[in-house]
Amino acid sequence: MVSLVEYGVIPIDYASIRASYPSLKALEDKICDLENKGTIIRLKRGLYIVSPAVSKKEISIELIANHLYGPSYVSRESALRFYSLIPERVYNTVSMTIKRRQRFRNYFGQFDYISCPVSYYSIGIRQVIREDYAFLIASPEKALCDQIVYTPNLQLRSARALQIYLEEDIRFDMDEFYKMDVTIFEQCAEVSKKTHMISHIIKLLKQ
């Protein structure tokens, strides 16, 4: 029998809970009881996480985002904040996916998923490995690309407009910007629907 505590911060489904209570017949009743006692927290229908008060481990929002809807990777402002490239606190967790757009709300906040083509999706994804789990997140370059390409109604018609957006609108760490790998932007530009805006990033980096 597997103790629920052993799952730590990894989201669990019905099968995982069943493994902790193999002789139990009324699994749904047990799940309701565990929820009511605060032992587990519902992420969405059929997916839960052991309460940090029980597991004694810090929850990973990025890991939750990966498990809620996939394939997906954390990106845009959520990833930029993760890397400390922007100063503003982020309230929603934003991810990219090859599936249709989706949104989930649960105890840990709102999780938004933005659809993109497979050819674009696969560029610039990192696996971050922690002590007992791992999650997928955009590289800093891909996160910025996603921010530029998939922010609704964002129009940056010149490299200067892009620079103003970075420095004033999202207060991007420009010292880190100029250290970025231009090849990732070039790969994104080849398959993106907004090649012209990514080209402004490339121009700034090469000037």
pLDDT digits (tens, 9 = 90+) for 36-63: 999 999 999 999 999 999 999 999 999 9
Q: Does residue 1 or residue 69 have the better pLDDT?
A: 69
Predicted local confidence at residue 126, as pLDDT: 98
Predicted local confidence at residue 164, as pLDDT: 97
- Average pLDDT on 119-133 reads 96
- pTM value? 0.94
Predicted local confidence at residue 193, as pLDDT: 85
For the chain, the average pLDDT equals 95
**110 close to 104: Cβ distance less than 8 angstroms:** yes
Spatial CB neighbours of 175, under 8 Å, sequence gap ≥ 6: none
- Average pLDDT on 7-30 reads 90
**1: pLDDT strictly greater than 70:** no
pLDDT in tens, 70-122: 999 999 999 999 999 999 999 999 999 999 999 999 999 999 999 999 999 99
**DSSP string for residues in 61-81:** HHHHHHHHSSSEEE-HHHHHH
- Average pLDDT on 3-25 reads 90
C-beta neighbour count of 145 within 10 angstroms: 28
Spatial CB neighbours of 155, under 8 Å, sequence gap ≥ 6: none
**167: pLDDT strictly greater than 70:** yes
**188 close to 198: Cβ distance less than 8 angstroms:** yes
